[in-house]
A = this chain, B = another copy of it.
Amino acid sequence: MSQNETPLNRVQNSFARQGLMQHLGARLARVEPGLCAVLLPYSDKVTQQQAGFHGGAIGAIADIAGGYAGLTLAPQGMEVTSVEYKINFLAAFQDGELRATGHVVRAGRRLIVTTADVIHVDANGKESACAVMQQTLMVVPKTY
């Protein structure tokens, strides 16, 4: 990261490099110190057997929202990698889009703990809880 990089630039640059997020059609919605929100619109690329959003896709954007919330607080020259995460699915949804918002709970020198909530937003803007996640990140040197 150059000295002029903002948290937003930093996350945008990393996000743009993620083939999975690009292919699924996810996009960044909001980046602030200690917070990141990611949107995933419904499409046939993200479905399970009943045509709802796939748990794997929900887990992926929750993981990313938590990870990038952590990245905003990592020291210069460092990035973060997921050590582990745990996700609970609250309800199934179809159509509309998902919004995963990650928050840093504690940023240590070596480890960062985050939580994320995933909300479904339907065509009328109605919001419903979809999933909650808890995650551990490790701070590692940036190698690219």
Report A's interface with B, CB cutoff 8 A. Answer: 14-15, 17-21, 23, 43-51, 54-57, 59-61, 63-64, 67, 79, 81-92, 105-106, 110-111, 113, 115, 129, 132-134, 136, 138, 143-144
Name the prevailing secondary structure of the A interface residues.
mixed
Q: Which of B59, B92, B105 contacts A85 (CB 8 A)?
A: B59
CB-CB < 8 A to A110: which residues of B?
A: 110, 138
A61 to B86 CA separation, bound complex (whole angstroms) = 15
Total identical chains? 4
Whether A59 touches B54, Cβ cut-off 8 Å, given contacts A47-B19, A85-B87, is no
CB-CB < 8 A to A82: which residues of B?
A: 55, 89
CB-CB < 8 A to A60: which residues of B?
A: 54-57, 59-60
The 8 A-B residue pairs with the shortest CB-CB distance, nearest first, are A56-B60, A19-B47, A86-B86, A17-B49, A20-B54, A84-B88, A19-B44, A14-B49
A113 to B133 CA separation, bound complex (whole angstroms) = 11
CB-CB < 8 A to A86: which residues of B?
A: 84-87, 134
Is A56 in contact with B59, judged by CB distance below 8 angstroms?
A: yes
Q: Which of B15, B61, B83, B88 contacts A56 (CB 8 A)?
A: B61
Q: Which of B19, B44, B85, B111 contacts A54 (CB 8 A)?
A: B19
